[in-house]
């Protein structure tokens, strides 16, 4: 797959099943999330209620092959300009530029939405996600040790953040 063959667009409710499928693959893989309960398309549809938060999909030949989603970081007003994010790519296309294309579109979408910072927590051993974030200007600001247990094993996470300069006035 060439990078030009990847299309990025805002997600639509009809993408919920494909988003759930990719998310569930990530949940089963145990390398990207503490989540253990798979999601249904109706669970994903709830994400469309938060219209301020960008939700983008990557498509190839008309099929959704990845997604990136911003969500509320904290509910206090002082954090209204900070978004947490997740990015997932279907296993069969990992390493083919889908995550890069999603991130390249996501950062400007977050800027347009008024966010001044986006952040996430990544399992330490998830080098692909860490490299993706580094490529797009995120910095690693620390490690949460024993942040949670997954399948009975403590896991550490790296905290990454990226300031959006255009919204820091």
- Work out the average pLDDT over 17-37: 96
Q: Is 113 exposed, middle or buried (0-12, 13-18, 19+ CB in 10 A)?
A: middle
Q: What is the CA radius of gyration of the chain?
A: 15
Residue ranges and CATH numbers for the domains of the chain are 3-119 (3.40.630.30)
Pairwise CA distance, residues 150 & 152, whole Å: 5
Chain segment 66-94, per-residue pLDDT in tens:
999 999 999 999 999 999 999 999 999 99
Residues in a beta bridge with 64: 59
* Whether the Cβ atoms of residue 8 and residue 58 lie closer than 8 Å to each other: yes
126: nearest Cα among 32, 6, 10: 32
Total-model pTM: 0.94
Contact indicator for 123, 31 with CB cutoff of 8 Å: yes
pLDDT in tens, 113-164: 999 999 999 999 999 999 999 999 999 999 999 999 999 999 999 999 999 9
- Token pair 């709830």: residue: 46
> Which pLDDT does position 127 carry in this prediction?
95
Decide if 91 contacts 25 (C-beta within 8 A).
yes
CA–CA gap between residue 107 and residue 116 (Å, rounded): 10
- Contact yes or no for 87/99 (Cβ under 8 A): yes
13: phi then psi, degrees, rounded to nearest 5: -50, -35
pLDDT at 50: 64
Contact (Cβ atoms closer than 8 angstroms) between residue 65 and residue 93: yes
Where would I find the H helices in the chain? Answer: 16-29, 41-45, 98-112, 127-135
């Amino acid at each position: 797959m060439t990078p030009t063959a990847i299309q990025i667009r805002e997600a639509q409710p009809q993408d919920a099943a494909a988003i759930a499928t990719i998310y569930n693959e990530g949940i089963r893989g145990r390398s990207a999330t503490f989540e253990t309960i798979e999601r249904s398309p109706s669970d994903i549809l709830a994400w469309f209620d938060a219209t301020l938060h960008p939700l983008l999909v990557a498509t190839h030949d008309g099929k959704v092959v990845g997604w990136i989603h911003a969500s509320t970081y904290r509910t206090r007003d002082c954090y209204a300009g900070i978004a947490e994010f997740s990015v997932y790519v279907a296993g069969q296309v990992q390493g083919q530029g889908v995550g890069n294309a999603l991130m390249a579109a996501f950062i400007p979408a977050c800027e347009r939405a008024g966010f001044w910072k986006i952040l996430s927590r990544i399992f330490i051993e998830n080098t692909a996600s860490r490299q993706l974030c580094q490529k797009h200007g995120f910095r690693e600001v620390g490690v949460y040790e024993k942040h949670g247990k997954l399948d009975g094993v403590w896991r550490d996470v790296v905290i990454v953040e990226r300031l959006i300069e255009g919204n820091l006035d």
